[in-house]
Homo-oligomer: A and B are copies of this chain.
Amino acid sequence: MQEPNFDKGEGLVPTVAQDEETGEILMLAYMNREAWLKTLATGKAYYWSRSRQSLWLKGETSGHVQLVREVRLDCDGDTVLLKVKQLGDAACHTGYRSCFYRKWVDGDFVAVGERVFDPKDVYK
């Protein structure tokens, strides 16, 4: 079975999650081999948390699981793209739909869009 090149990133591949319907980029996280295999086996996005140094089922706490509809690999084999159905309608722990909710405007990053949920209600 083929797999991404985990060696280049010292065991990790950056993984982009994109909303399958809207094309919106939801987040970027990292997979190790275990996360990769769990994602394929379950159809749910697993990542490797660099801060917690542990395998992480996206949505484990919030319920905002990502159902994987398509898996893509880039030309170098060192980046993965997941097209997903985002449950709960938001990927970001801040409550925004996408983690990329800050836009560069005249030298500053400005939050655009509205929060889908209040983090206080979700992470207790």
Contacts and interface: CB of A to CB of B under 8 A. Distances in A.
Interface string A36-78: 0000100000000000000000000000000000111111100
A24 B23 contact: yes
B99 A74 contact: yes
Interface residues of A, number: 34
Interface string A72-105: 1111100101000000000011101001111110
Interface of A: 1-2, 14, 16, 18, 22-25, 27-28, 40, 70-76, 79, 81, 92-94, 96, 99-104, 107-109
17 contacts: A1-B108, A16-B16, A18-B25, A22-B23, A40-B104, A70-B103, A71-B103, A71-B104, A72-B102, A72-B103, A73-B109, A75-B92, A75-B96, A75-B101, A75-B102, A79-B99, A81-B100
